Amino acid sequence: MTMDAAVKVPFVDLRAQYATIREEVTATLAQVLDHAAFIFGPEVARFEEQFADFQGVNHVVGVGNGTDALVLALRALGIGPGDDVVIPANTFAATAEAVIHAGARPVLVDVDLQTYNIDVHQIERRITPSTKAIVPVHLYGQPADLGPILAIAKDHGLSVVEDAAQAHGAQYRGRKVGSWGDAAVFSFYPAKNLGAYGDAGAVATNNDQVELIVRKLRDHGGTTRYQHDLVGYNSRLDTLQAGVLLVKLKHLDEWNQRRQENAQIYNTLLSAIPGISIPVVLEEAAHVYHLYVIRVQRGSRDDLRRHLQAHGIQTQFPVAERCAREILSLPMYPELERSQIRYVAEQILNYMTASA
């Protein structure tokens, strides 16, 4: 392996983040190990309360992962076999997967080419008598355009379940995403803006009945030991992960601000490069850049990815037809250094110049 082939800019660097909070995490994990309440220990309830405060909602229920969160939220809203659920075509597979696991049918709607989120102008043409819900996905940390979505849902009597798995702390019209719909779901996969040290997720809601049903569904159908009111799941947020999330939640606003600052540096450096489209942010939105996604409109996205990889820069490419051929996710995390961002931009410029 040549020097250039060594990784110089990782796609995400969880070790760098851990180094900044090592003592806090170690103390919290030691506390959990000492009291040994590994399932539904006190840290779980504390995290649920603090994340609910952060989100500005009445209830948060911790569950095993983000996919389960969406399944349980849909089921709690009475969505199941015979129902259609509208979702964007450009999303992670888990969004459609969860709808199917709930027994419903995912109905795909194309996306806006600038924001990559669901195209609100195309939703109504996909609504049928069987449609029961819309799942707007706040993809890459960019809020979906919730105003029109909520209006459509109200007109057609539909539930709205926000998929905020990539948008912890993002805002729409000055209010946190995940607080607008009938329910919202979060993933705390380690690489997320708010990530655990394993799988974890949550459902947020202002609806008391939804909260109660999710609490039952996550723990074999009941909230009292050996009393099972529903056919449920084993999808509990474990205490160790709740402890990690409690530590990280205190830093989330600062980390998101650093992501936004890093995005602005990328924007400045990349906006002058012909053939590269930088992220477009809705005027009413505060993007938290779980991913910084560019669109490669000249040359080849895959060739650019190979060029960056050859120069030690890790990338990923997420997805509807044209997007799938052109979008590329650049390294983005709070600890990303300005020199690393400049290096990424330099290599993109080198490739685009050579492909002109």
Q: What is the DSSP letter of 293?
A: E
Q: What is the pTM of this model?
A: 0.94
CB distance 57 to 97 below 8 Å: no
Burial class from Cβ neighbours inside 10 Å (0-12, 13-18, 19+) for residue 300 reads: middle
Query: Using alpha carbons only, what angle is made at residue 178 by residues 58 and 153, rounded to the nearest 5 degrees?
Result: 100
The 10s digit of each residue's pLDDT in 291-319 is: 999 999 888 899 999 999 999 999 987 66
CB distance 243 to 31 below 8 Å: yes
Task: Tell me how far apart the alpha carbons of residues 3 and 143 are, in angstroms, rounded to a whole number.
Answer: 39
pLDDT in the model for residue 300: 87
Find how far residue 105's CA is from the centre of its chain: 22
- CA end-to-end distance (rounded Å), the chain: 29
Task: Tell me how far apart the alpha carbons of residues 118 and 101 are, in angstroms, rounded to a whole number.
Answer: 22
Task: Tell me how far apart the alpha carbons of residues 149 and 268 are, in angstroms, rounded to a whole number.
Answer: 32
Task: Tell me how far apart the alpha carbons of residues 327 and 331 are, in angstroms, rounded to a whole number.
Answer: 13
Task: Tell me how far apart the alpha carbons of residues 219 and 346 are, in angstroms, rounded to a whole number.
Answer: 51
Task: Tell me how far apart the alpha carbons of residues 49 and 352 are, in angstroms, rounded to a whole number.
Answer: 49
pLDDT per residue of the chain (356 residues) written in tens, 0 to 9: 233 458 899 999 999 999 999 999 999 999 999 999 999 999 999 999 999 999 999 999 999 999 999 999 999 999 999 999 999 999 999 999 999 999 999 999 999 989 999 999 999 999 999 999 999 999 999 999 999 999 999 999 999 999 999 999 999 999 999 999 999 999 999 999 999 999 999 999 999 999 999 999 999 999 998 899 999 999 999 999 999 999 999 999 999 999 999 999 999 999 999 999 999 999 999 999 999 999 998 888 999 999 999 999 999 876 666 777 889 999 999 999 999 999 999 999 999 999 87
Task: Tell me how far apart the alpha carbons of residues 346 and 107 are, in angstroms, rounded to a whole number.
Answer: 41
Residue keyed to tokens 């979060």: 186
Distinct helix (H) and strand (E) counts, the chain: 11, 13
The arrangement of strands across the sheet holding 84-88 comes to 59-63, 201-205, 183-187, 159-163, 131-134, 84-88, 105-109
